Amino acid sequence: MGASAIELRRPVDVKVIMSPGFREQLTAEARDTLARIDRNLSIIEGLPEPRDAQQETERARLLSLKAQLEWRMREVEGVEDGAELPFRSFEGTVTLAEGDDFLQKMGHAEVVLLDWKVVEIRGL
């Protein structure tokens, strides 16, 4: 056997550990987004009646997005410090070489963050 190797892609889940700083950042970003939504809603609601179907669809979309964001903010406020939460998934690469255990190498990988610093890498 030669020394062949190949790089493959696999999903890598990123998790965050809730901390006061992370909570504050999430809520600040949510407040900024809510302010933009409210500005856009004000523009649409300031249009003369009757509004066209596209304007009504956009208004409904913004109201739904606002409700979801407000719900998420309340949810984040209730999470205890130290709790581990899913954040995002990314695509990573793994090098497979002859003799490697395929299932072990291609298995679930996670990166855990605390205040945006990597504190643990699992499943290497």
The per-residue pLDDT for range 53-75, each reduced to its tens digit, is 899 999 999 999 999 999 989 98
Residues 97 and 73 in one domain: no
Q: Kindly state whether residues 27 and 57 are assigned to the same domain.
A: yes
Selection from 62, 32, 30 nearest residue 45 by Cα: 62
Q: Is 80 exceeded by the pLDDT of residue 3?
A: no
Is the separation of the CB atoms in 100 and 106 below 8 Å? no
Distance separating alpha carbons of residues 78 and 76, to the nearest angstrom: 5
Whether 35 and 65 share a structural domain: yes
Burial of 16 (0-12, 13-18, 19+ CB in 10 A): buried
Domain span at 9: 1-19+83-124
Looking at the fold, whether 26 and 74 belong to one and the same domain comes out as yes
Tokens for 31?
A: 């407040």
Tell whether 61 and 48 lie within a shared domain: yes
Asked if the peptide bond before residue 50 counts as cis, ω within 30 degrees of 0, the response is yes
The model's pTM: 0.68
Please tell me whether residues 65 and 28 are part of one structural domain: yes
Same domain, residue pair 31 and 58 = yes
